[in-house]
């Protein structure tokens, strides 16, 4: 719904690129940058190791399968699912950025905190579909 209201995927990515949100291969090693190839690589590697290797949920999942090949299969399934969830999250962020690229909801007083932007976005985008905003809030 949001993609259609924003004029399609191409428009969303063009607005995000114009706003400096799509910096793919900045090789600057400066740790004070918002993001660079090195910072993202280090951050994602440490996140993946902690998520897959040491969280109790994953360790329990791997220990309950009957053999090593099943554990490897569980790692791959978890990894693919995790990537899909992360990509959806990134796309939602780009969608929200493209919607509010010229008007920050926090600074304009529409919401009080940053973590209220996504629910506000859903309520605003889905307001014409009966019941959908209520289902989301619940």
Residue of 49 and 99 predicted with greater confidence: 99
Q: Phi then psi for 46, rounded to 5 degrees?
A: -65, -35
Cα separation, 94 vs 96, whole angstroms: 5
Distances from the Cα of 33 to the Cαs of 17, 24, 26, 28, 37, in angstroms?
Answer: 17, 13, 10, 8, 10
Give the C-alpha separation, 112 to 56, whole Å: 35
Convert the pLDDT of each residue in 71-96 to its tens digit.
889 888 988 998 899 899 999 999 99
Which pLDDT score is estimated for 67? 92
The string of pLDDT tens digits covering residues 91-128 is 999 999 999 988 889 999 889 999 899 989 988 888 88
For 5, what's the count of Cα atoms within 13 Å in the CB-facing half-sphere?
14
Query: What is the C-alpha radius of gyration for the chain, rounded to an integer number of angstroms?
Result: 19
Question: What are the boundaries of each domain within the chain?
Answer: 2-102, 107-138
pLDDT of residue 9: 92
Whole-prediction pTM: 0.79
12/25 Cα distance (integer angstroms)? 20
């Amino acid at each position: 719904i949001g993609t259609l209201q924003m004029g399609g995927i191409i428009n969303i990515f063009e607005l995000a690129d114009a706003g400096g949100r799509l910096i793919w291969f900045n090789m600057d090693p400066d740790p004070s940058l918002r993001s660079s190839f090195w910072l993202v690589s280090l951050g994602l590697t440490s996140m993946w190791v902690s998520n897959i290797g040491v969280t109790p949920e994953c360790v329990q999942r791997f220990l309950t399968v009957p053999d090593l090949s099943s554990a490897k299969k569980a790692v791959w399934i978890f990894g693919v699912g995790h990537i899909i969830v992360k990509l959806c999250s990134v796309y939602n962020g780009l969608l929200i950025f493209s919607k509010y690229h010229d008007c920050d909801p926090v600074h304009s007083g529409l919401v009080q905190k940053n973590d209220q932007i996504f629910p506000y976005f859903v309520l605003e985008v889905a307001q014409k579909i009966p019941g959908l905003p209520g289902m989301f809030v619940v």
